[in-house]
Amino acid sequence: MASHYKIGSMDIREQARTFDSFINWSVWGGLLVGLGVFGLVLVFGAHMSWLLVTFLMVALGAIAGFVLKMPVSWYATLGGTFVFALFAYFVSSLIFFVQSLLGH
């Protein structure tokens, strides 16, 4: 059986697509986790404002996306994350404001 095999004759398109997908998911996951951890370190370790860190993480994510030639969907993900973070920031600010009015 092995004597019938010719090196380089096997169709590897499916394996190549699987490998490319794995690498893409790894890059996306690594960037998102890295930005998230760095942002949390800045907020809780360096005591920076959530709002400032949100802008900084979006800027760093855009730079990383440009350097790594990420697709447009990366920037859409950054935009969605940015909107979610702003919403969370303003909700937490509203909660603290209401608590300060109530005297708690």
What is the model's pLDDT at position 50? Answer: 85
pTM: 0.75
pLDDT tens by residue, 36-79: 999 999 999 999 988 899 999 999 999 999 999 999 999 999 99
The model's confidence at residue 2, banded by pLDDT at 50, 70 and 90, is: low
Asked whether residue 103 carries a pLDDT value surpassing 90, the answer given is no
Spell out the domain ranges in the chain: 13-102
> Alpha-carbon distance 72 to 89, whole Å?
26
Asked whether residue 7 carries a pLDDT value surpassing 90, the answer given is no
Distances, alpha carbon 59 to alpha carbons 26, 54, 65, in Å: 21, 9, 10
